[in-house]
Amino acid sequence: MRTALLLACALTAVAASAEESVYRELDYPIDNYLPKVEGDMALSGTYPLWKDRTKLDWRMAGNPEENWRLNWKFMDPPFNGAVHGGHFALDRGEDLYKALNRDGRFAACLGAGKGKLRGLRTRYPSYNKELKRVVGLEEMIERCAARQDQVLQNGSYDNSAVSLYMASHSQGLPIRIDVSKGPMKEAFERGRILYHTKAGRLNFACSSCHTHNVGQLVRGTHITTPYGDAAHFPVYRTKYMLQSLQLRIAECNLDSGVQPLRPGSAAYTDIEVFLTALTNGYPVSVPSERD
Amino acid sequence: MHGSTLVGLFLLALAIPGLASNPPPDAAVDPSAEIKTLAPKVVVKSGRLEWEAHKRDLTPWVTLSHEDRRPTPKPRRVDLNGQLNGDAERGRTIAMSTLKGGCVNCHTLPGEDWPGSVGHLLMSYRKRGNSDAHVYQQIFDPRVFNPNTVMPAFGTFGLLNDQEIRDLVAYLQSLN
């Protein structure tokens, strides 16, 4: 049974120097998560069905009542062998990357040890010593490109294309971010709370749909588990062309009546850390396509 | 929070126009536009993220930003005053329209092919035997009955006005 509780976040009010609390509601329960993809066993229990992407049950994909249990993994190539917009984006990302990395500065700025891109994607978001906070890969792409006076805004097609190219070097490698201690743990905890914080005109939290109504229908679409999602971003979509994870969060915000934030905002990065930890152990799969 | 601080904050909000409802600095908004809420628009082969006006202004309600200091409206108990005076036909339109009630996003109602399944079936709602006042409260602010409900508080959050809620009550009570 869900219990009613109020979240009192301590914030300094504009007018008073004393600490004021802002009234927020959380969608309970909030603590049944594991920072690895197997954690889905305690949530939707669908993990065994999509764990191995080469062994998906295609009969389920053909059945609208059942296909949500596959966590939409059947939409990710190589199941759909056809060339799609994600492949063109990958080519674009390679060109942009090579132009930016002529002297190796760009890769070093992104944190690629000895210029090696393999595994880089599996370690983001990560703590940045210079900025003294947790950053997402796309935010770093924007920052590192800016050092060479190139505009690659977080969420833009070209930024996501470079991110996709980075991810392609980790194809098949499991996502592996450590949220057990320090600033990453703090970001994970903030992300977990945000994921359960009700907001917007309808007073929905992410969890209102993605945790507490998995498998239910929202206007004809079945909601899937939040586990295992982070590994296929940025993703090719017909409507959004190329969509980073933070733009997906903005889309869900808009669709559920919440004023969206700009990509790279602290709150979205915290949610990205939370969702990425829920994908720990699941292999990077790009370029992928979703409808 | 002390009453005096509340009054102080309120006066400050009056002194600085818009402070009380200003979205946080990291919100995707165009402050000068009529519809302030922006939706991202990805442009192929561009390093800039474009933004366009969303179909609806979402700035009055709280965001997920750490810098958003506006409180969520608290649960509100209401009384249904006087005769119900609702129009079931208008209520039906409100229930079906995504831009109005959008009840059908979560509930199954007669005559809709793509209903949601998050809320209960409301097919023969009248048989439930709930009073008009109860149904009015459920739509105005269901948190009074279930603090952890996912159903929006259509009255408290200013999504539907008194008459629209009366129309919805009349509509639901007409479903045999």
DSSP, collapsed to helix, strand or coil, labels residue A228 as coil
Residue A79: its pLDDT value, please? Answer: 65
Task: Read off the pLDDT band of A118 (50, 70, 90).
Answer: very high
Q: Are strands A217-218 and A235-237 parallel, antiparallel or unpaired?
A: unpaired
For residue B37, the chain A residues in CB contact (below 8 A) are 254, 259-260
**Whether pLDDT at B108 is above 70:** yes
Long-range contacts of residues A82-88, Cβ cutoff 8 Å, at least 24 apart: A84/A236, A84/A287, A84/A289, A85/A236, A85/A238, A85/A241, A85/A242, A85/A289, A86/A164, A86/A235, A86/A236, A86/A242, A86/A286, A86/A287, A86/A288, A86/A289, A87/A287
Encoded tokens for B21: 């409802």
- Substitution target in A65, A201, A252 with the highest count of B β-carbons within 10 Å is A201
Q: What is the DSSP string of A153-168?
A: -TTSHHHHHHHHHHHH
Looking at residue B151, its pLDDT comes to 92
Of residues A134 and A74, the one with the higher pLDDT is A134
CA–CA min distance B75, chain A (Å): 10
What is the spatial distance between Cα A227 and Cα A40, in angstroms, rounded to a whole number?
A: 6
Chain A: closest CA distance from residue B89 (Å): 22
Q: Is there a shared CATH topology between the A12-82+179-290 domain and the A85-168 domain?
A: yes
From 1.10.760.10, 1.10.10.60, 1.20.1070.10, 1.10.3720.10, which CATH number describes the A12-82+179-290 domain?
1.10.760.10
Which burial class, exposed, middle or buried, applies to A180 when counting CB atoms under 10 A from its CB (0-12, 13-18, 19+)? exposed
- Rounded to 10 deg, the angle between the A157-168 and A85-100 helix axes is 90
| CB contacts, 8 Å: B150 with chain A | 27, 204, 208, 212-213
Convert the pLDDT of each residue in A41-92 to its tens digit: 999 999 999 999 888 888 898 888 888 999 988 887 666 667 889 999 999 9
Whole-complex ipTM:
0.90
Residue A183 to residue A132: CA distance in whole angstroms:
9
Q: Which residues does chain B have within 8 Å of residue A213's beta carbon, measured at their own beta carbons?
A: 118, 150
Q: Identify which has the larger pLDDT, B29 or A5.
A: B29
The pTM assigned to this predicted structure is 0.90
pLDDT of residue A221: 82
For the beta carbon of residue A235, count every other beta carbon within 10 angstroms.
Answer: 26
For residue A108, the model assigns a pLDDT of: 96
Structure tokens at B68: 């958003």
- List domains and CATH numbers for chain B: 2-63 (no CATH), 88-173 (1.10.760.10)
Please check whether residue B144 touches A, CB under 8 A: no
> Looking at residues A159-164, what average pLDDT do you find?
98
* Cβ-based neighbour number of residue B99 at 10 Å: 8
CATH superfamily of A85-168: Cytochrome c-like domain (1.10.760.10)
User: Domain residues of chain A, as ranges?
Assistant: 12-82+179-290, 85-168
Residue B17 touches chain A, beta carbons under 8 Å: no
Please list the residues that pair with A236 across neighbouring strands: A242, A289
So what's the pLDDT on residue A20? 61
Q: What is the DSSP letter of B73?
A: P
Q: Strands B38-41 and A289-290, how do they pair?
A: unpaired
Of all residues in chain B, what percent are helix, strand and coil, respectively (each to 5)? Answer: 30, 5, 60
Cα-Cα-Cα-Cα dihedral sign, residues B140, B145, B151, B152 = positive
Whether B157 sits inside 8 A of A158 (CB atoms) is no
Single-letter residue type at B105:
N
